[in-house]
């Protein structure tokens, strides 16, 4: 009896394998597209709340074209004036070559012009200080690159700036300065994350380390900054953590 059942099952398997009409073709399995971790449609809108309860909004608007490519603009509302060099809040961005690139050149110059006099004010007590920077073209900050792979590290940004520290607005009283800003990114991995905008089962966590090195006279000083970001599929940045605390996404709308 068992032998007869075995023979029957074998014949059924043969009919299944070879009994199909020769004209029939198998339907190919559709290749799964990777999730979009950085929605870039015009009109996309995100609202965030920082550790102090301050809320600010970022929205994508029409952009512009350059020799490097097509950029889209970010517009912000209610940004805190306490933000210093926040390279995660650029004025423009582009998605190209499997990378998300932030244009942060203007923020770099403003940071140096505003920050450096504060850092050296003890050495020039009572004097009016101003920064004059030589014209330079800064690269884009590479937010991340596809595919997102845990434990992958990359140089997200590196630029060098020359200029001078001007005392009392006098051309003859100038001290040469050099500055370098470098940022490295590192994909930590995937993990669930909860925000006021919702719970996300899988979000990529990326850590950024920034070093701002400035040189006056023969001495060099270094300022370091650390930020960690969480990206959720089809939503984008849902959480930011740095020395000031946590900034979380509270709502978002897409066109």
Six token digits for residue 79: 């940004």
How far is Cα of residue 157 from the mean position of the Cα atoms in its chain? 11
SS (H, E, C) 50-61: CCCCCEEEEEEE
Give the C-alpha separation, 182 to 211, whole Å: 5
Confidence at residue 204, expressed as pLDDT on a 0 to 100 scale: 93
Maximum pairwise Cα distance, the chain: 108
**31-253 CATH, one of 2.60.40, 2.30.130, 1.20.1630, 2.40.360:** 2.40.360
| pLDDT of the residue at 194 | 96
Q: Report mean pLDDT in 10-residue bins for the chain, 255 residues.
A: 50 47 49 70 95 94 88 89 76 89 91 81 81 90 90 95 87 85 96 96 95 84 93 94 95 95
pTM of the complete model beyond 0.85: no
Q: Where are the domains of the chain?
A: 31-253
């Amino acid at each position: 009896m068992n032998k007869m059942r075995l023979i029957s099952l074998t014949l059924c398997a043969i009919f299944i394998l070879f009994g199909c009409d020769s004209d029939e073709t198998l339907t190919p399995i559709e290749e799964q597209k990777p999730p979009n971790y950085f929605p870039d449609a015009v009109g996309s809108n995100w609202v965030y709340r920082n550790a102090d309860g301050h809320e600010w909004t970022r929205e994508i608007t029409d952009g512009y074209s350059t020799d490097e490519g097509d950029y889209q603009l970010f517009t912000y509302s209610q940004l805190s004036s306490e933000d210093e060099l926040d390279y995660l809040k650029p004025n423009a961005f582009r998605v190209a070559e499997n990378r998300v690139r932030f244009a942060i050149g203007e923020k770099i110059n403003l940071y140096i012009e505003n920050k450096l006099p504060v850092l050296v004010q003890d050495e020039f007590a009572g004097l009016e200080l101003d920064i004059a920077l030589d014209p330079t073209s800064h690269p884009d900050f590479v937010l991340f690159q596809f595919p997102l792979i845990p434990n992958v590290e990359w140089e997200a940004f590196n630029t060098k700036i020359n200029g001078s520290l001007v005392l009392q607005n006098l051309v003859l009283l100038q001290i040469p300065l050099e500055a370098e800003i470098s940022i490295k990114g590192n994909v930590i991995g995937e993990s669930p994350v909860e925000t006021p905008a919702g719970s996300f089962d899988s979000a990529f966590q990326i850590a950024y380390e920034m070093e701002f090195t400035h040189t006056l006279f023969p001495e060099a000083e270094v300022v370091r900054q650390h930020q960690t970001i969480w990206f959720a599929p089809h939503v984008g940045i849902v959480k930011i953590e740095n020395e000031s605390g946590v900034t979380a996404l509270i709502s978002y709308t897409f066109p």
